[in-house]
């Protein structure tokens, strides 16, 4: 999973192996021989008609098998937790022994009692810790093309449902096992259907064969090409939302996330590497090691190879291994070699034939080794769980986080997210003052008066570990070589005003008891002159999609105006009835519907004369033409950033877009499109394509170049006044600091030069249409050392703070890189002929949670073509 630079040895011999089914499965990887099973429960082989590991199983067939055994065995129940984007049912199993079944709800409630130490006496807690079975949760196949684990779960479920051996009975008596058979059914089926379509009759183990070479975008991600193993906290997708709801209902003591990685690698089991979340309780390390050692004991017996400690950190809290760890659980990761290229069998570089059967077997073995180890440590785990919700394990300094209720765009998204994770959010019942309120903007304390209704998240509550991990401005970190981003602080990601305080506040508050909704509805009048939608609103772009879809002619205010009651921001949408005469009889109904469906406030105006600013007939009230947008996809573009743009426009904004394969670009008539959107890429565009695109822009097209693609449209390709920051400094960043750096230190020094996902302070010119609806500063997520040189002939819309000491808000960036980037441009507009090129050097909607800057994309495609 980490990017590896492999030296590929070319074999001049075609590696083709012929196996009969029996030799391919072999006896080495039999699932625990000698166990007696209840004959009324079907085995996977009986039900599917083939040995597990000889074929991949379609998701529908996996579910159908699991449903079958849930009706055949009273130990097993199956539940729904939603549907995927593509409509596949999401289901999970709860399995336990007879003595627990009759009082399952009581056991669940007892477990939740431990998770709120405020409401339970020490004596009662000790009794529950001693008596309650453990809740043990195994999650399979979050990455769709790491497909062996969903095969394995069928054997795991079968044994728990039907086996009568001592080990199984001990697990059933002492625990409630929760199995999530497939966290990402859309991605898995994308892989499995493709693989089946590519597989040959004669089993082919040649790693370069077509059946071992999955096409773009691959099955790892979900429908919108998002990595669901980064979404546990943010819950952008239905797969995560449904799962977290179940998670909060059960709160397990252990959680294991089953993965795969390149087929040349050996099994990874706990513990992982640094950095770790330093806020975790002290005994976390030792307990997680218990499970690694249990898995290893099983592998030693079967002579399976494995490794520990050399990879995989658990710092970022959105993984299936780290989220549970901030919820009182021992969250764990296992990784099997195999992955998409593993197929049914593949020859490794050292000549070993790695079969799907072995991959299934390995995950089956660790599933049981882990469950048995959990049962052996049941009381320890229950106690750890209980203590991790107590204040004695709270290592945070903040006593409260304060989010002012100033109608910032994403505020309610954050409040609702926190509540979904069991966080108690309060609102102040009156104005209050804090002597030392630290601001997220500067990191400095100041005396500040807060308003009635501002939101407070106190840390003296059970979810303190989650709260501190997700809300803290800056996490402590051991070192800077990390697997993922170095900051995810929610107030920064959602660009909120936020504060924290270390002193205890005693103020009157009310608890937030239901999810918050942004203000929506219509203030209508009879015989309106115009309908107005303030562009500052969270869902204003969606309302524009709806208006266009219904055929309304819409204008957008290039300047602010005030109707005597309040001012309306730049970009505000105005529907003039004098230009929509055909809508006269239906406008009231339409506006009501749009306000409700999009989630915006719409105001009807009786006149077009404003008290201040522009009138509605002004030429600064720009007619917006409905746009035809194409998002470029496929090789060599980055499927993640393409997916984020697709999601933002298609799902979030409900704006119809075309997705064009890059290879079509040269041969189609671009004049049918108003906007072309380029996701990130590292591979340079062909000069003939750049030439064609320049011609199209000069003719009136709007080209939006994001991340790595921004670098294709610079002076190098004849676009004047657009230069990337100097490349010699970039080269310096790529080389180790000294010619005498030791071999063993070289990869580390490269890591320190990276900017691994860091919050930078961005200054915004929100008088430019590209930034309409945004405040004049935002936190931009820096993941590279790319930026543009500011230039008088280039409209700089966003630039990094000019002071290198104030530039980095949270995360890691070397001082050398901060000096390089301070004052440089990250968002810009370059008019060219009748059209324009828009540069967004930083990701504007990373994983759809770092969404503070995302309005710039909506502006770029909806407003800019007309402005």
Minimum Å distance from CB 239 to Zn ion?
14
Angstrom distance (rounded) from CA 827 to CA 722 = 12
Q: What is the enclosing helix (H) or strand (E) of 621?
A: strand 621-624
Nearer Cβ to Zn ion (146/365): 146
Q: Which residue of this chain has its Cβ atom nearest to Zn ion in the complex? A: 259
The CB-of-687 to Zn ion minimum distance in angstroms stands at: 38
Distance CA 181, CA 815 (A): 46
In 800-846, alpha helices (H): 804-807, 815-821
Taking CB under 5 A as the criterion, which residues in 166-195 touch Zn ion? Answer: none
- 631, 629, 642: which is closest to 221 by C-alpha? 642
Alpha carbon separation from 815 to 87, 474, 843 (Å, rounded): 48, 17, 22
Length of the chain: 867
Closest contact distance (angstroms) between CB of 259 and Zn ion is 3
- Residue 141 in contact with residue 149, Cβ under 8 Å? yes
Q: Please, what is the Cα angle at 493 between 489 and 495, to 5 degrees? A: 115
Stretch that binds Zn ion, among 121-129, 259-267, 378-386, 803-811 (CB under 5 A): 259-267
Specify the residue, 333 or 828, whose C-beta has the smaller distance to Zn ion.
333
Q: Does 230 bind Zn ion (CB under 5 A)?
A: no
Q: Which is nearer to Zn ion, 144 or 281 (CB)?
A: 144
Contact positions with Zn ion (CB under 5 A) in 544-563:
none
Structural element, H or E, at residue 245: helix 238-250
C-beta closer to Zn ion: residue 146 or 151: 146
Locate the DSSP E strands across 359-421: 400-403
Give kind and range of the element (H or E) at residue 810.
Answer: strand 808-810
CA distances from 831 to 630, 680, 795, 842, 860 (A): 20, 21, 8, 20, 13
Give the nearest distance from C-beta 384 to Zn ion in angstroms: 26
- The number of helix segments (H) and strand segments (E) in the chain equals 25, 36
Residue with Cβ nearer Zn ion (70 or 325): 325
Dihedral angle, C-alpha 93, 98, 102, 105, nearest 10 °? -40
**Residue 45: helix, strand or coil by DSSP?**
helix
Q: Please identify, using beta-carbon distances, which residue of 220 and 818 lies nearer to Zn ion.
A: 220
Q: Please, what is the minimum distance in Å from the beta carbon of residue 276 to Zn ion?
A: 19
**Residue 299: Cβ within 10 Å count:** 18
Nearer to Zn ion, 146 or 313 (CB): 146
Lay out the site mask for Zn ion across 93-132 (x = CB under 5 A, - = otherwise). Answer: ----------------------------------------
Closer Cβ to Zn ion, 143 or 344, answer by number: 143
Say how many C-beta atoms besides its own lie within 10 A of residue 582's C-beta. 11
Write the CA distances from 531 to 2, 572, 653, 699, 772, integer angstroms: 52, 10, 20, 33, 19
Cα–Cα distance measured from residue 150 to residue 443, given in angstroms and rounded to the nearest whole number? 46
Q: Smaller CB distance to Zn ion: residue 340 or 845?
A: 340
Judged by CB under 5 A, the stretch of 251-259, 287-295, 606-614, 661-669 that binds Zn ion is 251-259
Q: How far is the CB of 700 from Zn ion (least distance, A)?
A: 44
Nearer to Zn ion, 252 or 320 (CB): 320
383 near Zn ion, judged by CB under 5 A: no
392, 117 in Cβ contact below 8 A? no
Closest CA to 226 of 778, 706, 641, 761: 641
DSSP at 37: B
Dist. CA 703–CA 697, nearest whole Å:
7
- CA of 855: how far to CAs of 402, 768, 772, 787, 851, in Å? 24, 12, 8, 20, 8
Number of residues that bind Zn ion (CB under 5 A): 3
Q: Which is nearer to Zn ion, 183 or 425 (CB)?
A: 183
By CB under 5 A, the residues from 136 to 155 that bind Zn ion are 143, 146
CB of 333 to Zn ion, least distance (A): 9
Shortest Å, Cβ 194 to Zn ion: 18
CB 688 within 8 A of CB 666: yes
How many of the other CB atoms lie within 10 Å of CB of 14? 9
Minimum CB–partner distance for residue 212 and Zn ion (Å): 17
Smallest gap from residue 414 Cβ to Zn ion (A): 28
Q: Does 259 engage in binding with Zn ion (CB under 5 A)?
A: yes
Question: How far apart are CB 344 and Zn ion at their closest, in Å?
Answer: 19
Closer to Zn ion by Cβ: residue 362 or 842 = 362
Nearer to Zn ion, 187 or 422 (CB): 187
CB of 260 to Zn ion, least distance (A): 6
In the complex, minimum distance from the CB of residue 643 to Zn ion, in angstroms, rounded to a whole number: 16
Site of interaction with Zn ion (CB under 5 A): 143, 146, 259
């Amino acid at each position: 999973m980490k990017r590896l630079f492999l030296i590929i040895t070319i074999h001049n011999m075609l590696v083709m192996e012929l196996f009969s089914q029996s030799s391919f499965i072999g006896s080495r990887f039999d699932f625990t021989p000698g166990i007696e099973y209840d004959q009324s429960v079907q085995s996977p082989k009986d039900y599917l008609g083939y040995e597990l590991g000889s074929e991949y199983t379609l998701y529908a067939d996996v579910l159908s098998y699991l449903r079958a055994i849930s009706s055949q065995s009273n130990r097993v129940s199956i539940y729904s937790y939603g549907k995927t984007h593509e409509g596949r049912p999401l289901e999970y199993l709860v399995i336990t022994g007879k003595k627990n079944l009759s009082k399952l709800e009581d056991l669940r409630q007892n477990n939740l009692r431990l998770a709120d130490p405020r409401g339970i006496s020490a004596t009662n807690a000790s009794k529950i810790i001693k008596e309650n079975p453990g809740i043990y949760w195994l999650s399979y196949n979050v990455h769709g093309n790491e497909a062996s684990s969903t095969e394995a779960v069928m054997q795991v479920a079968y044994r728990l449902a039907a086996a009568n051996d001592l080990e199984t009975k001990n697990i059933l008596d002492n625990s409630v096992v929760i199995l999530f058979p497939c966290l990402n059914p859309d991605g898995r089926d994308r892989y499995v259907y493709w693989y089946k379509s590519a597989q040959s009759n004669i089993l082919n183990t040649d790693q370069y064969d077509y059946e071992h070479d999955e096409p773009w975008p691959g099955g790892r991600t979900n429908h919108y090409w998002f990595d669901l193993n980064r979404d546990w906290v943010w819950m952008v997708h239905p797969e995560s939302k449904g799962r977290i709801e179940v998670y909060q209902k059960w709160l397990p003591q252990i959680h294991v996330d089953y993965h795969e990685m390149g087929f040349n690698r050996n099994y990874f089991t706990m513990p992982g590497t640094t950095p770790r979340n330093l806020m975790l309780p002290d005994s976390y390390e030792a307990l997680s090691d218990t499970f690694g050692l249990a898995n290893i004991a099983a592998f030693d017996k079967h002579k399976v190879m494995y490794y520990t400690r050399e990879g995989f950190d658990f710092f970022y809290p959105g993984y299936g291994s780290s989220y549970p760890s901030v919820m009182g659980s021992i969250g764990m990761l296992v990784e099997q070699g195999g992955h998409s290229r593993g197929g049914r069998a593949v020859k490794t570089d050292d000549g070993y034939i790695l079969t799907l059967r072995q991959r299934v077997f390995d995950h089956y073995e660790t599933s049981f080794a882990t469950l048995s180890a959990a049962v052996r440590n049941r009381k320890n785990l229950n106690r750890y769980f209980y203590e991790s919700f107590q204040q004695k394990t709270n290592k945070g300094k903040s006593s409260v986080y304060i989010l002012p209720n100033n109608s910032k765009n994403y505020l309610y998204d954050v409040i609702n997210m926190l509540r979904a994770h069991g966080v108690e959010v309060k609102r102040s019942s009156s104005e209050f003052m804090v002597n030392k309120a630290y601001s997220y903007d500067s990191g400095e304390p100041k005396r500040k008066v807060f308003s009635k209704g501002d939101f407070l998240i106190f840390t003296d509550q059970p979810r303190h570990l989650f709260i501190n991990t997700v809300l803290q401005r800056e996490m402590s970190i051991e070192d800077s070589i990390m697997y993922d981003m170095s900051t995810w602080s929610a107030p920064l990601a959602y660009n909120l005003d936020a504060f924290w305080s270390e002193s205890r506040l005693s103020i009157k508050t009310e608890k937030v008891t239901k999810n918050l909704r942004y203000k929506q509805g219509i203030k209508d009048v009879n015989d309106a002159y115009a309908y107005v939608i303030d562009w500052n609103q969270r869902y204003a772009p969606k309302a524009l999609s709806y208006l266009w879809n219904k055929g309304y002619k819409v204008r957008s205010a290039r300047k602010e105006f005030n109707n005597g009651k309040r001012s309306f921001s730049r970009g505000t949408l105005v529907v003039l009835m004098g230009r929509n005469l055909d809508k006269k009889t239906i406008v009231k109904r339409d506006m009501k519907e749009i306000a409700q469906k999009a989630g915006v406030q719409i105001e009807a105006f009786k006149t077009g004369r404003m008290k201040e600013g522009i009138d509605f007939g002004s030429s600064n009230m720009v007619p917006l033409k409905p746009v035809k947008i194409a998002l470029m996809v496929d090789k060599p573009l980055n499927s993640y950033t393409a997916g984020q743009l697709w999601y933002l426009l298609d799902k979030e904004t409900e704006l119809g877009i075309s997705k064009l394969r890059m290879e079509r670009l040269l041969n189609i008539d671009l004049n049918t499109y108003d906007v072309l959107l380029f996701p990130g890429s590292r591979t340079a565009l062909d000069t003939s394509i750049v030439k064609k695109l320049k011609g199209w822009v000069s003719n009136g097209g709007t080209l939006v170049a994001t991340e790595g693609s921004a670098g294709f449209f610079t002076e190098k390709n004849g676009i004047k006044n657009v230069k990337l920051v100097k490349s010699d400094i970039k080269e310096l960043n790529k080389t180790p600091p000294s010619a005498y750096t030791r071999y063993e230190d070289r990869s580390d020094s490269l890591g320190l030069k990276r900017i691994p996902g860091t919050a930078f302070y961005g200054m915004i010119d929100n008088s430019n249409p590209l930034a309409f609806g945004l405040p004049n500063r935002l936190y931009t997520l820096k993941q590279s050392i790319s930026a543009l040189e500011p230039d008088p002939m280039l409209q700089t819309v966003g630039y990094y703070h000019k002071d290198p000491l104030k530039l980095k808000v949270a995360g890691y960036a070397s001082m050398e890189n901060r000096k390089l980037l301070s004052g440089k441009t990250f968002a810009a507009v370059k008019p060219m002929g009748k059209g324009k090129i828009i540069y967004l050097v930083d990701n504007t909607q990373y994983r759809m949670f770092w969404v503070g800057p995302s309005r710039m994309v909506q502006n770029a495609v909806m407003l800019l073509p007309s402005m």
